[in-house]
A = this chain, B = another copy of it.
């Protein structure tokens, strides 16, 4: 999780090129997808000259691009490289049709997320047709992260993770995202047990006030947890019992497609 933040400024020397490049790329996000060189150098904490040289090189390889205004953006080539190799993305590709099935049955936000480096990482999201939800649930964007303890997906992922990981997560300070966010480790443990027993999580308001996250586990070969499939519905309505079977069905389909069920998955490659 070390690279999650921009900890130190530029060390005058003693830092690898790779970490500088990562800092440059991490300077971009959904809010600020393009910027000038000087802004980039500031946000990345690199001297102008260094930023200039590295950016120039990255442009040459398509890792960055200039848009019409000459502003810098992350290049498609980078996405191409990342998407071609990543297993998470092939998971997404397999899951997508099943997600559409869910979407067709329950007309709500549907997301697919994995556990990576101690947080929830959203791989895919299908949006509800109605736009009220659109505003409220803007948190769960694709390629966005969220804390494990404050999302239904996170709790499901945690519930089926090895004990050492659970302990590690619960030992760290837990942020209160909303009023309802559960931050008490023993209570969370109880919830995790309940999730494992029931096979799904349904928790009102822990991530977004007024909305209930419902999530179920997706397993891969070896029956290890691979992802969480989630739908988010307005709290208070009685659609939780309606949504859960839809998610379970889809999740089961995805798990089967991933080769779950076999006692220990076949070695890939």
Binding site for B on A (CB under 8 A): 3, 16-19, 21-22, 25-26, 28-30, 32-34, 54, 57-58, 60-63, 67, 69, 71, 73-90, 93, 96-97, 100, 103, 114, 116-117, 121, 125-127, 129, 142-145, 267-269
Could you list 20 A-B pairs, sorted by A, with CB under 8 Å?
A: A17-B17, A18-B21, A18-B57, A18-B61, A22-B61, A25-B81, A25-B85, A29-B84, A34-B268, A34-B269, A73-B85, A74-B82, A74-B86, A76-B114, A77-B116, A79-B86, A89-B142, A93-B125, A100-B100, A100-B126
Q: Which of B18, B22, B83 contacts A142 (CB 8 A)?
A: B83
Cβ-defined partner of A81 (8 Å) among B78, B85, B114: B78
Contact of A33 among B34, B63, B90, B143 (CB under 8 A): B90
As for how many copies of this chain the complex holds, the number is 2
Report whether B96 and A86 are in contact in the complex, using a CB–CB cutoff of 8 Å. Answer: no
**Which chain B residues border A54 with CB–CB below 8 Å?**
18
Which residues of the partner chain B approach A71 to less than 8 Å between Cβ atoms? 269
- Chain B residues with Cβ under 8 A from A26's Cβ? 81
In the complex, what's the smallest C-beta–C-beta distance from A119 to chain B, in angstroms?
A: 10
Nearest CB in chain B to that of A58: its residue: B18
A80 and B18 within 8 A (CB): no
Min C-beta distance of A2 to chain B, whole Å: 8
Bound-state CA distance A144–B83 (Å) is 9
- Evaluate contact between B61 and A87: CB separation under 8 angstroms: no
Given contacts A16-B17, A33-B87, A34-B268, 20 further A-B contacts (CB under 8 A): A18-B21, A19-B61, A22-B81, A29-B84, A33-B84, A33-B86, A33-B90, A34-B87, A62-B116, A73-B85, A74-B81, A74-B82, A74-B85, A76-B121, A79-B89, A80-B116, A84-B143, A93-B142, A97-B127, A100-B100
